[in-house]
Amino acid sequence: MIAPGLRNVQRVGRAQVGRAYAIFDTAVGRCGIVWSNSGVVAVQLPEAREIGTRRRIFQVHPEAREQPLPLNAELAIDGIAMLLQGSDPDFSDVSLDAGDVPAFNRRVYEYTCTIPRGETRTYSEIAKALGASGAAYSVAQAISKNPYMLIVPCHRVLEAGSYADRISPYGGVISKRRLLALEGAHPIASKTLFEVLLPVAPPRPS
């Protein structure tokens, strides 16, 4: 059984012709999405400024060009926007292009999609569930490279006893702690990197 969000992942390959991207608004800032003819290639969460988000997309996908959204990307964007507003979207109709994703990483992402909203798992728990108890490090590496931010909810996967706030290069300035707080999984005990980077007016001189 293919997990929600990766339902079509095993049907796609490397036959895509070019890649495109778009920038879209969410409750936490301007995000980016990259797609091919086969499906969503990557989701970029916001950097501190939109130019940083665009720069990150160009660094990883220099061939991508800004284009009107196809239906599949629109479905993904709708779900991402809902999740960032605290809802629990269904990504089961969103196709992902996994042509460049290693087989083990696909297994990790499939399992990650089964973690319910508001719950978390550790790297070791996922490795054990996949029948590879000694592969916690490999699970951590797969999570750190997750290109499908929020569609594959890697923020629900934690290092044992730690938030390990750094998500993946596609995570922008949004921390796992903040995303989990949106889902009611954990309270925010301290300021997140995103909050620290929010513009703050300098104090007026007395």
Whether the CB-CB separation of 144 and 164 falls below 8 Å is answered with no
Q: Give pLDDT tens digits along the chain (206 positions).
A: 334 445 444 333 343 458 999 999 999 999 999 999 999 999 999 999 999 999 999 999 999 999 999 999 999 999 999 999 999 999 999 999 999 999 999 999 999 999 999 899 999 999 999 999 889 999 999 999 999 999 999 999 988 765 555 567 777 777 888 888 888 875 434 344 344 334 444 445 54
What is the distance between the alpha carbons of residues 136 and 14, in angstroms, rounded to a whole number? 29
pTM over 0.85, yes/no: no
Taking phi first (over 0 means left), then psi (-120 to 50 degrees means alpha), and beta for anything else, what does residue 89 get?
beta
53: tokens are 């988000």
Q: Using CA atoms, how far apart are residues 116 and 64, in angstroms rounded to an integer? A: 33
Which residues carry out catalysis?
A: 154
Does residue 19 contact residue 128 with C-beta atoms inside 8 Å? no
